[in-house]
Amino acid sequence: MTQPHQTLGEFIIEHQRAFKYSTGELSRLINSIRLAAKVVNHEVNKAGLVDILGQHGETNIQGEDQQKLDVYANKLFIETLINREIVCGIASEEEDSFITVQGHNKAHDNKYVVLMDPLDGSSNIDVNVSVGTIFSVYRRITPIGQPVEMKDFLQPGNQQVAAGYIIYGTSTMLVYTTGHGVNGFTLNPAIGTYYLSNPNLKFPETGQIYSINEGNYVHFPQGVKDYIKYCQEEKDNRPYTSRYIGSLVSDIHRNMIKGGIYIYPKSSKVANGKLRLLYECNPMAFIVEQAGGKASDGYRRILDIQPTELHQRVPFFCGSKTMVEKAEEFMK
C-alpha cells in the first residue's frame, strides 16, 4: 500500500498564495484548528475508558442537553484559537453570544472571525458512532483595531473565506476549502500528522442515497413527503437507499463520497428546521458547492441567506446537484 506523502502543513504552505489575502494568517488559523482537532480526537477515542461520556448536566443556548465532550471540545477550540492570537472573534453553537478576542497588546488587530460547532452529533458518542467538528471563517467587516461587533458574525455564507469539518470515525479526517476546491486529509495517529488522502473531492452529479429522519414523516411539509415517495418508487434507477446516521458531518461526508442528498426540513415540530445557519448550514453549503454539489433551504441558496441572529435555524437540503434540484421541484 502506497503511503501519501504530502502533509496538511505542506499543502497549506504550497497553496496559500492562491488565497486572496496571502498574509499567512489563514494558514495559521487552519493549523490551530488542526492542532485542537488532534486533541479532541484523542479524547473521543478514550470514550468508555474515562469519564467523558454522557450528559454534562447543563443545557446550551438552544435548550439542548450538553454532553461532557461538547463542553470539553468547545473549551479546547476556543482556548487554542485565543492563545495563538489569530482571530479577533469567535462564535460557538455552545455559547450564548460571541467572544471578543484581544491580542497580547490589548489591540484587536486580527482579521478573521471563526464560527463553529465544536462537536456535532455528540449524543452519538455513547453508542460509538462518528461525530465531527464544523468550522467557518470570515474576514471581519469592522475596522481593524476595534472590538468585533455582531455584524462581523452575521454575514451571509457567500462571504466565507474558509470552511471545513473534522470527522472522528474509523479514521480521523479534516476536510476543508478556501474557495479553491475541497481536499481531505487523514490523520496518522502513530505520528500525529494529517496526510492528503482525498484530493479534489467531488459530489457525484446524482446518487442512490437519501438521508432524512423518516421517523418525523408525519410532521414534514407535503413537498418533502412527496419527494420521499419519489425516492421509494421502483422506476428509473430507483428506489434509492435510505441512510441516516443523525450526525450531520457523517451523513454529508458519506454522500459526498458516494452520491446522495441530505435533508433536514422544517416541520410541524420544528418550524424553522433544526440546523443552525451559521454553525452548520453555511460551512457545509460552502464545502458542498465547492465539491460540485448544491445546498438550499428547499427554495433558495443557503449561501445567499442574510443571517439575522447568531443561533438562527433554517431547513437544509444539500448533496448531489440533480437530487437537490429534484427535491426543490417537489417543494414548489
Residues annotated as binding site for Mg(2+)? 93, 117, 119-120, 280
CB 168 within 8 A of CB 130: yes
Please give the C-alpha separations between residue 25 and each of 112, 119, 137, in angstroms, as whole numbers: 9, 24, 12
Report how far residue 47's alpha carbon sits from residue 53's, in angstroms, rounded to the nearest whole number: 6
The DSSP-derived string for 194-222 is: EEEEETT----SS-SEEE--GGGGGGS-H
In the structure grid, which three cell numbers stand for residue 197, read together?
488522502
Taking each continuous run of H as one helix and of E as one strand, the counts in the chain are 8, 15
In the structure grid, which three cell numbers stand for residue 284, read together?
457545509
What single DSSP character describes residue 121? T
Count of other CB atoms within 10 angstroms of residue 103: 14
Residues making up the binding site for substrate: 120-123, 213, 244, 274
CB 36 within 8 A of CB 76: yes
Residues making up the binding site: 93, 117, 119-123, 213, 244, 274, 280
